[in-house]
């Protein structure tokens, strides 16, 4: 390995001092608290039915919407959407092919709420079962509990007829190997000193742009030597440099005003075994109240748990806030938890999806996205299927953890996967 974890620690200190941050601290939507502000992602129309979900559900919404119009249950329609990415081995944020924990094991989380019957179900840290959204629903329907975790949840799923299968696809396994190699300067993973391409750690004298170029090039070469397909190598590199939190949320509202929500995820890539984020936590990853509406989240799970995001949003709407104002308030609580310190806030991000019982909806995000031209998007169907852009609280782009120095903008322009 030519670039060690120690090198990153050193350069990140230098870089954060030298480069400052790529984000500003203004609140462009501060007036949203009034609930009066109009925006593309804030719709006050009262169309029903409505399906609202994270953008990775887009391809599955049309069929679920047809089912909803045909009388399908709202939770079943929402699950129909999220099952798409769960079953897709090429979506590495959820279900089959989700990125694994640090030991190479895929662990999935999910929770759901069924508005009409005011029930909830959840599972956390489930291995070997891909459709955890359906397992969460089964917990709700077939037990007197709300949440099962780990081995017990897996055994319950098998008892309910869900097949055990290996969730680690070959590609996700290779990305995990790449992550291990990249982070390895204190163990025996990765090419050793005998490898013809091995070089001692480079001195930190190069400009950040060059260091980033080297890092990306080395990772891409390693991705190639691990057999990751050429068209996927840069995406794999991005996942190593910025482990994603994955996740899909979907809320569905029918023409009778019944509403339900579901969130499912493989969680933070390369997490500690046993870590669960916000997705299986009722009130954080998802919350639905038949009297008010439904909300869900994707993004930095640890931050969302601390503000009980989905529950906060539904309560805000109960007290009269619009969907957008309700979501903005939850984001501001995250900002408040760090006293507005942008040096910390830039390493986290959060998107909330908010659907009110009358069909009004919004999606809001902490940052605009992770780079210019790639805003946070969401999918909505209220008779017309489309993707819209979430309204950001903060101007600028998040940087994901771990805290490397910011990638220079000119390099982002050159490198397709960083755009």
Contacting positions for ligand GLY (CB under 6 A): 245, 247, 265, 267-268, 277-279, 298-299, 301
Q: How far is the CB of 299 from ligand GLY (least distance, A)?
A: 6
H helices within 255-400, ranges in order? Answer: 301-307, 309-318, 323-337, 342-345
Cα distances from 300 to residues 54, 78, 186, 204, in angstroms, run: 15, 22, 28, 30
Residue 140 contacts residue 119 (beta carbons within 8 Å) = yes
Secondary structure class of 277 (helix, strand, coil): coil
Nearer CB in complex with ligand GLY: 277/375:
277
- Cα 238 vs. chain centroid, distance in angstroms? 15
Partners of 375 in the beta sheet? 369
Pairing of strands 361-365, 391-392: parallel
Specify the 3-state DSSP secondary structure of 280. coil
**Least Cβ distance, residue 375 to ligand GLY (angstroms):** 18
Backbone angles phi, psi at 210, to 5 degrees: -70, -40
Considering beta carbons, is residue 303 or 388 the nearer one to ligand GLY?
303
Q: Phi, psi (5° rounding) for residue 191?
A: -60, 135
Contact between 94 and 246 under an 8 Å Cβ cutoff? The reply is: yes
Closest approach of Cβ 98 to ligand GLY, in Å?
10
DSSP secondary structure letters along 384-405: SEEEEEPEESSSBB--PSS-PP
Plot region of 339 (φ>0 → left; ψ -120 to 50 → alpha; else → beta): left
Q: What is the dihedral of CA 334, 335, 341, 345, to 10 degrees?
A: 60
Question: Scanning the structure block, which residue is given the tokens 């601290």?
Answer: 25
- Nearest residue to ligand GLY, using CB? 301
**Dist CA 7 CA 192 (whole Å):** 18
Closer of 11 and 247 to ligand GLY (Cβ): 247
Other CB atoms within 10 Å distance of the CB of residue 340: 13
The catalytic position among 11, 247, 288, 298 is 247
User: Whole-number minimum distance, CB 401 to ligand GLY, in Å?
Assistant: 11
Is the Cβ of residue 57 or residue 301 nearer to ligand GLY in the bound state? 301
Nearer to ligand GLY, 278 or 329 (CB): 278
Residue 68 or 175: the one with the smaller Cβ distance to ligand GLY is 175
Residues near 369 by Cβ (< 8 Å), separated by ≥ 6?
375, 376, 392, 397, 398
Min dist. Cβ of residue 285 to ligand GLY (A)? 7
Known catalytic residue at 298: no
| Pair 133, 161: CB distance under 8 Å | no
Of 106 and 360, nearer to ligand GLY (C-beta) is 106
- Nearer to ligand GLY (CB atom), residue 35 or residue 285: 285
Residues annotated as catalytic are: 247
């Amino acid at each position: 390995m030519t670039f060690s974890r120690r090198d990153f620690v050193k350069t990140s200190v230098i870089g954060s001092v030298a480069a400052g941050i790529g984000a500003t601290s203004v609140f462009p939507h501060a007036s949203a608290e009034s609930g009066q502000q109009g925006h593309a992602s804030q719709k006050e129309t009262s169309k029903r039915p409505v399906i609202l979900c994270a953008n990775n559900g887009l391809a599955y919404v049309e069929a679920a919407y047809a089912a909803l119009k045909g009388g399908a249950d709202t939770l079943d329609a929402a699950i129909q959407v999220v099952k798409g990415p769960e079953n897709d081995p090429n979506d590495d944020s959820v279900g089959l092919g989700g990125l694994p924990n640090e030991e190479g094991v895929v662990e999935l989380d999910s929770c759901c709420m069924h508005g009409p019957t005011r029930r909830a179900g959840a599972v956390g840290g489930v291995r070997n079962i891909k459709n955890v959204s359906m397992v969460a629903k089964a917990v709700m329907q077939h037990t007197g509990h709300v949440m099962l975790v780990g081995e017990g949840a897996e055994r319950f799923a098998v008892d309910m007829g869900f097949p055990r299968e290996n969730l680690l696809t070959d590609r996700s396994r290779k990305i995990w190997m790449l992550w291990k190699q990249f982070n390895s300067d204190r163990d025996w993973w990765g090419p050793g000193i005998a490898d013809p391409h091995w070089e001692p750690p480079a001195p930190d004298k190069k400009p950040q742009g060059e260091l980033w170029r080297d890092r990306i090039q080395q990772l891409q070469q390693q991705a190639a030597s691990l057999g990751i397909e050429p068209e996927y190598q840069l995406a794999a590199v991005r996942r190593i440099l910025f482990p994603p939190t994955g996740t899909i949320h979907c809320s569905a509202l029918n023409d009778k005003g019944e509403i339900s929500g579901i969130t499912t995820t493989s969680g933070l890539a390369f997490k500690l075994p046993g870590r669960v984020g916000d997705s299986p936590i009722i009130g954080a990853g998802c919350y639905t109240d038949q009297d008010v509406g439904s909300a869900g989240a994707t993004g930095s799970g640890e931050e969302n748990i601390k503000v009980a995001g989905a529950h906060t949003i539904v309560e805000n709407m109960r007290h009269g806030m619009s969907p957008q104002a309700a979501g903005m308030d939850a984001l501001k609580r995250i900002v408040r938890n760090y006293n507005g310190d942008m040096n910390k806030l830039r390493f986290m991000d959060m998107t909330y999806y908010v659907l009110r019982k009358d069909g009004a909806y919004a999606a809001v995000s902490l940052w605009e996205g992770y780079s210019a031209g790639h805003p946070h998007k969401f999918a909505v169907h209220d008779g017309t299927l489309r993707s819209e852009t979430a309204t950001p609280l903060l101007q600028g782009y998040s940087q994901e953890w771990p805290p490397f120095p910011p990638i220079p903008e000119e390099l982002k322009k050159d490198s397709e996967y960083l755009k």
